Amino acid sequence: MDNKNDDNSNNNFSINDFNKATENDINNSLIKQDTKNEINDIIEENIDKCIKNGDNISTVDNVFPPTTDEIFNKFNMSENEISNEYKGKKKTAILIINNGNPKSQNEFSEFFKYIFTSVNLPFQKSIGSWIASKYSKIFMLQDQNCYNNPRILNNLWSLKQKKIFELYMNKISPLTAPHKLYYVKNNGIGKIPSTLRKMISNKISKVIVIFNNPHYSDSYTSRIMAEIQEYIEVFDKDKKIGWKIVDNWANYPELIECFVKGINEKISTFSDKDISKIFLLFCAQSTYSSFNNEKNGYKKEVISTVQSIISKLRNEYSYTICWQTPNGITEKLGPNIGSSLKNIKNNGFSQVLLVPLIFSMDLLERMFINEIETAESYSKKIGINEIKQIDYLCGKWGYIKCIANMVYQALNNEPILKAGDRKYINVCKKCLKKNCSKHYKLITQSNL
């Protein structure tokens, strides 16, 4: 099948047509495996060139794929040529939702105001704004050192790798190309309505929505989905856009492989490589403990991710889970890093590997990095000789491929995602929104 012929077929190639296509048609239209391998080889060969050195880095924390130009040059492409190749075709959008990355004082205030006034906290109306103001000042002070911290990757995922992601998606899924990556920040700074307006103006025909945190949470995921549904009804009244939400990919195989690879790479740097002496401390984002009842599976999903990783590691390590130190006045999940390190030392371990579970280039990650550095200092005081941390996933080529391949499978309704799809029998029982039944439909009745 000639891709150019696709462009001349009134651009009405739907996902149903894809499912009806013969195996030969599909194989001929998709990118050849050799070309896929070429892209991977380019990235692997040039990874060393993309390391961003820092004076205080003892490990390679900042590993990036090659620049987009290197890939374009390899395939003798230019951005204009790519644009012309898909000229007139309707675009497919990938909408990634993260927690936001505030930098200025106003953005910090808006970020915390959104957090402390959007969840049903005690005395929310009277003190929510006051708490937001207090926390914005505290974290502005903490965050001043972050921009010179070599562990902070300066959000290069969204700045540099966006084009690489889009190019890779166009290569592996030409039937749904061109692809465009968008971000929604859950902090009031780049909110959902402005992003949806932008997508509609760009003539998007399909949207895959992905949450950067792979674990479904009633206090976060469900609330954002309700907002998305509300704005879809406003901006897409005629239902011209096909929507699919991937809200839970806690055990997606490529995600697990990314963690396993990161753990194995860092284990090899310990002075004593005896795995019986190295303790794995998994660190997850916390949430309000009142939400973590039997119907809200967030904690169980985090545990299932950890168990999948440990299983891939052949159950050879001792491990436990800790939770990011809670902020605010409402009880959250625990224990935190400090308490966990003390327990680990009391159990006779003096080597610890920290494994952050999806902190995705946003404020939560910056707050967490400060917490880790405090923990590293604390660990020496209590007698832990060696504490290390695996590299964050967001700058890794394997993680980019993980997201891209998941999008491809979501577009084609491949069965591998069934492991991550929820039944949504009990959705958002604590949500303040009144139209939970509407976003239930959005999730369970994809109209791609």
pLDDT tens string for the chain (448 positions)? Answer: 344 334 333 333 233 333 333 333 333 333 333 444 454 554 444 433 433 332 222 223 333 444 445 555 555 555 555 556 666 678 899 988 876 555 666 666 666 666 655 555 555 555 666 666 666 665 655 555 554 444 444 444 555 567 778 878 888 888 898 999 887 765 544 577 888 888 888 889 999 988 877 887 766 677 777 778 778 888 888 888 888 888 778 888 999 999 999 999 999 999 988 888 999 999 887 775 555 555 567 888 889 999 999 999 999 999 999 887 655 555 567 788 888 888 999 999 989 998 988 655 555 555 556 566 667 777 878 888 888 888 777 667 788 888 888 899 888 876 545 544 443 334 444 444 555 555 556 665 566 6
User: Can you give the pLDDT at residue 32?
Assistant: 38
Dihedral sign computed on CA atoms, order 145, 146, 150, 154: negative
Nearest to 336 by CA among 351, 322, 318: 322
Residues contacting residue 185 through CB under 8 Å, at least 6 positions apart: 98, 99, 100, 101, 191, 362
C-alpha separations of 346 from 16, 239, 325 in Å: 58, 59, 21
Q: What is the pTM of this model?
A: 0.71
User: Can you give the pLDDT at residue 112?
Assistant: 64
Q: In the chain, what are the domain boundaries? A: 3-101+150-249+397-444, 253-394
**Which SS3 state, helix, strand or coil, does residue 90 take?**
coil
Bridge partners, 355 (sequence order): 282
Burial 275-287 (b: 16+ CB within 10 A, else e): eeebbbbbbbbbb
User: Across 287-385, where does the E strand assignment appear?
Assistant: 318-323, 351-356
Residue 210 token pair: 């992905």
User: Can you give the pLDDT at residue 319?
Assistant: 95
User: Can you give the pLDDT at residue 282?
Assistant: 93
CATH architecture of 253-394: 3-Layer(aba) Sandwich (3.40)
User: Can you give the pLDDT at residue 437?
Assistant: 59
Burial 35-50 (b: 16+ CB within 10 A, else e): eeebbeebbeebbeeb
Question: Would you say the CATH fold of 253-394 matches that of 3-101+150-249+397-444?
Answer: yes
User: Can you give the pLDDT at residue 256?
Assistant: 94
Return d(Cα 52, Cα 63) in angstroms, integer.
7
Residues contacting residue 51 through CB under 8 Å, at least 6 positions apart: 60, 62, 63, 64
Q: Which residue has the tokens 């890794």?
A: 396
User: Can you give the pLDDT at residue 201?
Assistant: 85
Residues contacting residue 14 through CB under 8 Å, at least 6 positions apart: none
The answer regarding whether domain 3-101+150-249+397-444 maps to CATH 3.40.50.1400 reads yes
User: Can you give the pLDDT at residue 369?
Assistant: 61
